[in-house]
Amino acid sequence: MIGSTKYVFDIQGFLFNGSLLDTFLTAEGQENTAQLIGSFRAVAPVPLPAAGWLMVAGLGGLGALRRKKKAA
């Protein structure tokens, strides 16, 4: 977080000998000279009202299960 803005670091690939690779493999004990390439982007805001309704529905479902269990 920088200030009040949240960021995500997306790894786009690895730069090796001028070529962009999305994967690289190394044998154990060997050095790798690849450079990590990436970018930062702002995180999209989460719509809180939808999350609130989902939580209310989940709690209601748990309450219904509890009531059903007591009746049995």
Residue at 67 is within a domain: yes
Residue at 1 is within a domain: no
Q: Mind listing the pLDDT tens digit for each residue in 1-31?
A: 677 777 777 667 777 788 877 666 677 766 6
Q: What is the domain range of residue 39?
A: 7-71
**pLDDT at residue 37 in the model:** 66
Residue at 2 is within a domain: no
Residue at 64 is within a domain: yes
Distance CA 23, CA 25 (A): 7
Total domain count, the chain = 1
* pTM assigned to the model: 0.32
Element (H or E) spanning 20, and its range?
strand 19-21
**pLDDT at residue 57 in the model:** 92
Residue at 26 is within a domain: yes
Give the residue, 53 or 6, on which the prediction is more confident.
53
